[in-house]
Structure 1
Amino acid sequence: MKIGLLECDHVRDELKHIAGDYRQMFPALFAQVAPDWGFEFYDVCNGHFPDDTSECDAYICTGSKNSVYDNEEWIVRLQAFVRELRDSGKVYVGICFGHQLLGESLAGKVQKSEVGWCVGIHSFEVLRTEKWMAPSLSVFNLLMMCQDQVLQLPTGSLLLARTEDCPNAIFQVGDNMLGIQAHPEFSKEYDQALMELRVERIGQEKVATGISSLQMTLNDLEVASWIRNFIEMKR
């Protein structure tokens, strides 16, 4: 299985000692549930795109400091590539920015949420269980680091999970596209380091609450298994 990682940002140099860049984080996560997967890296935020959707069996799109509605050439090009993936039937999984990109690319609506930043560990409520969502969970915990949210889903979307502060937390479009507004690839240490760097933007109270939440148990491997199942069942 060849997975194309669409890199929409890079970890700050002073934080790379924690878990590397995205091209280290994602393979490290999936090595635990899909050890036979290989990764191809596409630095899309610096203009490196696949020549064709057929280059990989599936694509995973990372988070980013950018917003999907920014008028950046690479973002506009990436939105077009997402639509090509939809039309070709190729599997796409969007994480955080990648989740928002899926919504924005297919005529949904993304903007800054009225609740502000979602940081630290949040509990997700499963609204609908699909076959690939095994092991089955009714509630699960994941790390978040976002201010933008998908406020209006694309037509025909299937809403799968929500959080108290993020109503459209996981959704599916057709048989081949999945968006997750969370970071299963992040470690608690990395999420805390980001919060501490962004105190002025996020706010001291939210950062304190976010850091306190890190005492909760994560379900990152269970969700990684869901992603593996989605990709392997849909490709």
Structure 2
Amino acid sequence: MKIGVLQADSVMERLRLTHGDYPDMIEGVLSHAASELGENVTFCTYDVVAGHYPDQLDSCNGYVITGSRQSVYDPDEWIKTLRGYVVDLHDLKIPIIGICFGHQLIADELGGTTEAAAGGWGVGSHLYDIVDSHWCIEPEVKQYRVLVSHKDQVMQLPDGARLLASSDFCPNAMFSIDDHILALQGHPEFSRGYSEDLMYMRREIVGERVYQQGVESLQHDLQSLEIAKWIVRFLKRKPV
């Protein structure tokens, strides 16, 4: 299975040497998940900020849209182009995974709404409740914890979207559309070390209280690999 990574940002240079770039993180966790599931995956990265896209929409079996420091409602041309690409993939029902910014952009472009959250920044690890079953998620899973870093949220889901996970802080944390779109607010590709370093870099922006709570939350167990398995199953269209 060939996965296209639509790279919507790069890790800050001072953190990249230690933690790698976003495609490295995504390839790492999805390769691990695929190996445990007995699946073979390859990756091709496209820098969509620079306007790089596959030659054909079906060049890959599915696509992952990464996170970004920018907001989906920013007026940048590359964001407008990516929005159009999402519509094209959606029309052909080619599988798309949206992570954080990708999650928000898919929702916003397909008829939902993404805005800056009244609750401010979410950082560290957050716990979400599974509110509806899905064929890529084990039926016994009722909650999951994953690393996050976001100030925007999906406020309204698109028509036809099915809410899969929620929390008080982030009500629309994960959704699906038919069998070709799966979008989630969390970052299963992040490591604890990267999350902690990123929080430190944004300490003044997020505020001391949120920063301290975020650091404390890193002590909890994470379900990052389990979430990555959901993603691999979804892209492979292979139920549990």
Q: Are 2:114 and 1:127 equivalent residues in the alignment?
A: no
Structure 1 position 89, deviation (Å): 1.0
Deviations 1:109-142 (A, max 9, x none): 1000000001000001000111111374101100
1:25 corresponding residue in structure 2: 25
Mapped to 1, the partners of 2:194 and 2:139 lie a distance apart of 26
Mapped to 2, the partners of 1:147 and 1:136 lie a distance apart of 31
1:50 corresponding residue in structure 2: 54
2:152 corresponding residue in structure 1: 148
Mapped to 1, the partners of 2:78 and 2:139 lie a distance apart of 36
1:95/1:183 contact within 8 Å kept: yes
Deviations 1:60-114 (A, max 9, x none): 0000000001111110010000011110110000000000011111011100000
2:162 corresponding residue in structure 1: 158
2:165/2:173 contact within 8 Å kept: yes
1:200 partner SS: helix
2:43 partner SS: strand
Mapped to 2, the partners of 1:156 and 1:89 lie a distance apart of 14
Structure 1 position 33, deviation (Å): 1.4
Q: Are 2:167 and 1:170 equivalent residues in the alignment?
A: no
TM-score (norm 2): 0.95
1:194 corresponding residue in structure 2: 198
2:65 corresponding residue in structure 1: 61
Q: Which runs of 5+ in 1 are unaligned?
A: none
2:141 partner SS: coil
- How do 1:90-129 and structure 2 match up within 5 A? 90-129=94-133
Deviations 1:14-62 (A, max 9, x none): 1013320012111110121114110011000111122321110000000
1:13 corresponding residue in structure 2: 13
Q: Which runs of 5+ in 2 are unaligned?
A: none
1:18/1:189 contact within 8 Å kept: no
Letter in 1 for 2:200: E
Mapped to 2, the partners of 1:216 and 1:139 lie a distance apart of 13
Mapped to 1, the partners of 2:206 and 2:49 lie a distance apart of 24
1:206 partner SS: helix
Letter in 2 for 1:56: C
1:226 corresponding residue in structure 2: 230
Mapped to 2, the partners of 1:30 and 1:78 lie a distance apart of 22
- Provide the identity percentage: 41
TM-score (norm 1): 0.97
1:86 corresponding residue in structure 2: 90
